[in-house]
Structure 1
C-alpha cells in the first residue's frame, strides 16, 4: 500500500518541479532579454551571450515542460546547467570581470537575476534527480 501512495506523490512532485523549473527558465529568459534590449546588446561578447540566454531559456522551459518521461532527466539537467552557467557568469562578472566586463550588484535586475538563477539551479537539479530515479523504477 505504501508503494502505491508514493507513485502519485512522485508524479505530483515531478509535475510541480516541471512547472516551477520552466517558469524559472522563462524568468532567466525575460531578465536577459530585457537587459539585452536595455543596452547590454552593445557590450562585446556579453550582449550576444544575453541574447543566447534569452533563446536558450525559452527553449529550455519548453523542453522541461514537454519532454517525455525518458528524456526528462536530460532536459532538467540541461536547464540546471544553463541556470548554473548564467549564475556563474553573473558572479564572475561582479567579482573579477568577464570578457573585460565588470558588473555591480547595484546594476538593474542584478539581485533578481541572482535569485532566479539560484532557484532554477536548485529546482531543476532536484527535478533531474527525481526524474532519473523515476526512470530506474
Structure 2
C-alpha cells in the first residue's frame, strides 16, 4: 500500500467517523427537544413550536449528514453546526436573560445534557466542515 493510499484511507475513516458522531449528536439534540416537548414545553408559547421544529431539524440534519454525497458534505456539516450553535445560543439566552418571555434554569430537566450535546455538535460539525473543505480542495 502506498503512502497516498494510506493517507486517503485515513482521511476517509476520519470523515466517516466525524459524520457518524455529528449525526449522533444532532439526533440526540433532536431527541432531547422532542422529549422536553412531550414533557410539557409544548404548552409554552413560541418555545413549544420551536422545540418541535428543533426536534424535526435535528433528526433531518442527522440523516442528511449520513446520506449527502461527499461534494456536498461541507455544506451539510456547516448547516448542522449552525443549527446546533443557534440552539445552544437559545439555551444560553433563555437561561440568562430569557427568550420570548421564557426564562429557563440550569436545574431544568436535561439542561446540562443539552448544553454538552449541543456544544459537542458545534465542535464536531465545525471540524467536519473544515475536513470536508480540505478534502474537496
TM-score, length basis structure 2? 0.97
| 1:24-66, Cα deviation, whole Å (9 max, x unpaired) | 0000000000000000001011100000000000110011000
RMSD, matched Cα: 0.8
The alpha carbon displacement at 1:80 in A equals: 0.4
Deviations, residues 67-100 of structure 1 (Å, cap 9, x unaligned): 0001000000000011000000000000000011
Match of 1:105 in 2: 106
Whole-angstrom CA distance in 1 between matches of 2:75 and 2:64: 9
> Deviations along 1:95-136, whole A, 9 cap, x unmatched?
000011000000000000000000000001111110111011
CA distance in 1, matches of 2:128, 2:7: 16
Distance 1:22 1:99 in 2: 29
Q: Matched residues in 1 for 2:57 and 2:111: separation?
A: 19
The size of the alignment, in residue pairs, is 136
